[in-house]
Amino acid sequence: MLEVVDTGINSFAPVASHADVSPIEEPVFIITSGQLEAIILQATTPLLERLENLERGVGSGEGGEDAPDSHKGQDNLLQVVQDLRTENTALKCELENLQETTARERAFDRQRIAKLERVDPQPLQRERGEILRALIAANGGKMLATDARKKMHLSRSRFSKLLATVKDEIEARPYHLNKSWQVLVLR
């Protein structure tokens, strides 16, 4: 009976030792930095040599070992340079056109703004403008804007709109004692 138990234990032993390792895992390789540099150098050396050959062929105008290939490379480089030059000239022309267009649009905008600023006053604004001119004339041609606004019983926004409509006849200047105040002067 002891033999049966020993064989039973021995038959389970190999299974238990392999249970810790998964069969799906890939093997792990450990390489040093020197080995990694050697692998990278081995992979990039042919590319560097080819690049040097192309540079020598373009710089000297001669072919090198591979004369037909270097002429093809040279022709390709010349084609790329020509394409870039044509694209550059096209972009310059487009930029000049855009600058002309924006200059025209700015001039048009200035004209529109000038037209909007020359708004004809409404009848009530004309009357208030005349009253303001008479009030300033009665005070010797000069008057503080706050005093004129209070005497006319207007809000600040209405008074500033009134000043905008009569700006050709009445000038608003900063007061010499306090620059935040305005003095209204007849023109």
The rounded distance, in Å, linking the Cα atoms of 22 and 166 is: 93
**In this structure, is residue 13 part of a structural domain?**
no
Residues 90 and 70 in one domain: yes
The rounded distance, in Å, linking the Cα atoms of 73 and 80 is: 10
Mention every residue, 6+ apart, whose C-beta is less than 8 A from residue 183.
142, 143, 144, 145, 172, 173, 174, 175
**In this structure, is residue 34 part of a structural domain?**
no
pLDDT of amino acid 61? 57
Among residues 143, 141, 123, 133, which one has the least CA distance to residue 167?
133
Residues 134 and 167 in one domain: yes
Residues 147 and 180 in one domain: yes
Render pLDDT for 76-86 as a digit per residue (tens, 0 to 9).
Answer: 888 888 888 88
Residues 109 and 151 in one domain: no
Tell me the whole-structure pTM to 2 decimals. Answer: 0.38
Q: H helices within 118-155, ranges in order? A: 123-138, 145-152
Residues 154 and 173 in one domain: yes
Most confident of 80-84, 107-111, 157-161: 157-161
Element (H, E) at 53: helix 33-60
**In this structure, is residue 142 part of a structural domain?**
yes
- Which structural domain range is residue 130 located in? 123-186
The rounded distance, in Å, linking the Cα atoms of 81 and 77 is: 6
**In this structure, is residue 169 part of a structural domain?**
yes
Q: Which comes out higher in pLDDT, residue 142 or 92?
A: 142
**In this structure, is residue 3 part of a structural domain?**
no
What's the structural domain count of the chain?
Answer: 2
Domain CATH for 182: 1.10.10.10
**Which of 80, 99, 118 is the last residue in one of the domains?**
118
Mean pLDDT of 43-66: 70
Residues 127 and 182 in one domain: yes
User: Binning pLDDT at 50, 70 and 90, where does residue 134 land?
Assistant: very high
**In this structure, is residue 152 part of a structural domain?**
yes
User: Binning pLDDT at 50, 70 and 90, where does residue 63 land?
Assistant: very low
**In this structure, is residue 43 part of a structural domain?**
no
Residues 177 and 136 in one domain: yes
To the nearest 10°, the Cα dihedral for 146, 148, 154, 158?
A: -80
